[in-house]
Structure 1
C-alpha cells in the first residue's frame, strides 16, 4: 500500500527532468476493495506523472548562510555549440547563483568567457565555494586563538585569516573595508 509523501503545491526536485517543480495534482491509484491506494503519482506539469522515488524535497534544515551557492549552466545565446567547441562545456557558460530561487549571483560577459573559458570556470567554482571557505577560515582562526600552544606559523596564518574575514565582513566605510583602505 502507498501513502502520499508530497502534497499539492509543494516544491519538489524532479530527478528525471533535473528541475524544480510544484506538485499540481496528487493522483492515487486505487484498486477495488482495498482501503489504501496501491500507488501514488504526482502531476508536476511537466508532461507526465512521476512516482515518489523520482521526486525529492528541498532540505531547509541546518543550512548555513551561503550554503546554497552553486554553479549552474546557462545556454550561450550568441554562439552555437559548434562555434565554441573549444570551451569546457560547449554551448553553455557558468552562472553562480546565491539564492534558492536561482536569482542573484555572478555572471560573466560572453566575450570574456570566450577569451579564457578555463579561467572563468575556475572563478565560478571559487565563488560558489566562498561561503564554505569563509566559514573554514573563521573556524581555523578561532581554533588557533583557543589553543595557546600553537606555533608561530599557525598564529601568523590565523592572523591572516582573521584579517581576511574582517575585510569580507566589513560594511563599506567601516574599518577593515579594503576599498577604503586602498584609496587612502
Structure 2
C-alpha cells in the first residue's frame, strides 16, 4: 500500500524536468475492496503526473534555537560617565545562544554608542525570535487544511509560510565576491 509523501502546495524538485514546482494535486490510485491507495501520483503542473521517487522535498534544516538569553557585558572602553545616556550605563547587550554562555550576537561598542536604544530593541527582538518563530509555525500548521479563510488571514498565512521557509532553508553559496570583482 502507498501513502502520500508530499502534500498539496509543497515545493518539490522534479528530477526528470530539473526544476522546482509546487504540488498542485495529490492523486491516489485506488483499487476496489482495498482500504488504502495502491499508488500515489503528484500533479505539479508540468504536463504529466509524477511518482514520489521522481520528486525531492525542499531541503531545510530544522532551526534548533534552544534558550536564548540577554546578558549584559561590561563596557571596557568607556567610563560610566561617558555612557551615562545609555539605557544601562556601563554595559551593552549580549545575546547568548549557547548553553555554555558563549556564542551568539554582540555589537561593537562604537555602534552601540551611536544609538543604544535601537540596539537594545534589536537585542530584545533577537532574544524573542525563537518564540516568534514557534508562534508562526503553529499558525501555519493550524491553518494548513483550512480552505475558507478570510482573504486577509490567507494572505497573512502565506507571508508566514514564506518567512518560515526563508528561515529554515539552507542558504545557497554566495557569488558576492564574483559580482564585486566584476564591478
The two structures share one fold, judged by TM-score above 0.5: yes
Q: Identify the residue that residue 71 of structure 2 maps to in structure 1.
A: 72
- Unaligned residue ranges in structure 2 (runs of 5+): 1-62, 177-183
- Unaligned residue ranges in structure 1 (runs of 5+): 1-63, 180-184
**Root-mean-square deviation (CA), in Å?**
2.0
Is the CA contact 1:96–1:106 (under 8 Å) kept in the aligned structure 2?
yes
Q: Secondary structure at the match of 2:86?
A: coil
Q: Identify the residue that residue 42 of structure 2 maps to in structure 1.
A: none
Q: How many angstroms apart in 2 are the aligned matches of 1:66 and 1:168?
A: 12
Q: How many angstroms apart in 2 are the aligned matches of 1:132 and 1:65?
A: 12
Highest RCO, 1 vs 2 (Cα 8 Å, sep ≥ 6): 2
Q: Does 1:123 align with 2:111?
A: no
Q: How many angstroms apart in 2 are the aligned matches of 1:138 and 1:67?
A: 16
What is the CA-CA distance between 1:65 and the residue it aligns to? 3.6
Q: How many angstroms apart in 1 are the aligned matches of 2:69 and 2:147?
A: 37
Q: How many angstroms apart in 2 are the aligned matches of 1:80 and 1:173?
A: 43
Q: Identify the residue that residue 96 of structure 1 maps to in structure 2.
A: 95
Q: How many angstroms apart in 2 are the aligned matches of 1:86 and 1:173?
A: 42
What is the CA-CA distance between 1:80 and the residue it aligns to? 1.2
Q: Identify the residue that residue 173 of structure 1 maps to in structure 2.
A: 172
Q: How many angstroms apart in 2 are the aligned matches of 1:158 and 1:124?
A: 26
Is the CA contact 1:73–1:92 (under 8 Å) kept in the aligned structure 2?
yes
Is the CA contact 1:144–1:154 (under 8 Å) kept in the aligned structure 2?
no
Q: How many angstroms apart in 2 are the aligned matches of 1:142 and 1:158?
A: 10
What is the CA-CA distance between 1:149 and the residue it aligns to? 2.8
State the TM-score, normalized to the length of structure 2.
Answer: 0.58
Q: Secondary structure at the match of 2:94?
A: strand
Is the CA contact 1:75–1:93 (under 8 Å) kept in the aligned structure 2?
yes
Q: Secondary structure at the match of 1:146?
A: coil
Q: How many angstroms apart in 1 are the aligned matches of 2:73 and 2:145?
A: 45
1:98-156 C-alpha deviation (Å, 9 max, x unpaired): 01111110000000000000000001000111111111111111112233332111111
| 1:1-184 pair list within 5 angstroms | 65-173=64-172
Q: How many angstroms apart in 2 are the aligned matches of 1:67 and 1:119?
A: 25
State the TM-score, normalized to the length of structure 1.
Answer: 0.58
What is the CA-CA distance between 1:166 and the residue it aligns to? 0.3
Q: Secondary structure at the match of 1:72?
A: strand
